[in-house]
Structure 1
């Protein structure tokens, strides 16, 4: 019989209902605990503080949005040029959201949901997050594109690229994780598939 040290430990999080999230509102939390709220229809990005909403002055309509580190990053398109902007919440000298231009997106880059970009060079693909330096922080994958068919990228964590499968399977199936390369993992879970499908459909409706 295995000892207690050999038995995997289960971790539980205690959660409490704090506030309802209204339809059409997305929530993004930074590493320091700041919560950004985004209303896509109204194109409104804000932080709540003492029951007040502190709005960000957006340069243009937001296409994709994510959090990385202690900032919120989002992409916009103006006159055919895609750009990444950075939003940071400050508590002093007064509570405010500072929005600054981070960088322009090149024509060679492909933008994905969940704050991911990629570009192809000499047969390889480099993936990186909105807040990364494309030349220094990219994760280069040498695998053939056909091996990724049926999968969509959903994130980068600890220098690993994560995908979700577009395949359908019964709702009572357990989620699975499969390593498909040195720096790549595939996740199969029904709920992520539905959320991913909704995100892409939402994005397509704005094209």
Structure 2
């Protein structure tokens, strides 16, 4: 039979919905948030069959989700949108851009203070949460920052061209992933030890940051081309992708071992490690 997680293991879609033009989907705590990024912009959630719209203060650029909110930037400001089960989605001002700060498309920021480079998420406090990058500027030129995970900066090497990615730590607070140049994006969430890397718009490679090993790659059967990973919730992954020239939000169940089986909890994580050990012994 087809064991989940063998090379190119095709996951069956359990839900698919066609997306309106210019609309991106983000999955936060299991709720789909939709953002139409062309004028007039629109941000809404689908809740019990209804579309609930947010009031947008101005034209904004969506940089994706961090924690339980969706974040946006303008030239000088950071905003966030939060949805509450009382069925309202509200957009609030977070902070002003600080001096010497650069925002990137992924919602990551870097600034140099006292000759040292710090990186952090736009949702973080720039003065308190910066991660010191102890890598020479020359070395940094061949690395691309793709995310921050549990206090570590995650970079992809732009010079490696491996089909099967690998990862290693540099000092205390940097992880470098060597992958194909076509490592498009990653889905990273602090509540999970797994980092999901999208390569070639088709393959999803799961890095277990506890063992620093990649699990066998996955793909989602029906999707011709995955544009990005919209979220993972309770073992289900949602991606945006092309099916017959239309953009869809597609959800599939991840195989056991590719996600935390329950709410993040130290005991569970330890149980998970033991379970992995038993599995590797029994294989």
TM range (shorter): 0.7 to 0.9
Q: TM-score, normalised by structure 1?
A: 0.74
Structure 1 unaligned runs (5+)? 1-9, 200-207
- CA apart distance, 1:168: 7.1
Choose the corresponding residue for 2:65, options 64, 67, 85.
67
* Corresponding residue for residue 162 of structure 1: 154
Match of 1:116 in 2: 108
Aligned length: 180
- TM-score when scaled to structure 2? 0.56
1:17-96 superposed matches below 5 A: 17-22=15-20, 24-30=22-28, 32-42=29-39, 43-77=41-75, 82-92=76-86, 95-96=87-88
| Structure with greater strand share of residues | 2
Shift of 1:185: 1.9
1:179 aligned to 163, 169, 175, which one? 169
Deviation above 4 Å: which 4+ runs of structure 1? Answer: 10-15
2-structure distance, mates of 1:22, 1:167: 36
| Residue 97 in structure 1 maps to residue 89 in structure 2 | yes
Q: How far does residue 166 in structure 1 lie from its aligned partner after superposition?
A: 3.1
Query: Does 1 or 2 have the higher relative contact order (CA < 8 Å, sep 6+)?
Result: 2
Please, which runs of 5 or more residues in structure 2 have no aligned partner? 186-199, 202-226, 229-283
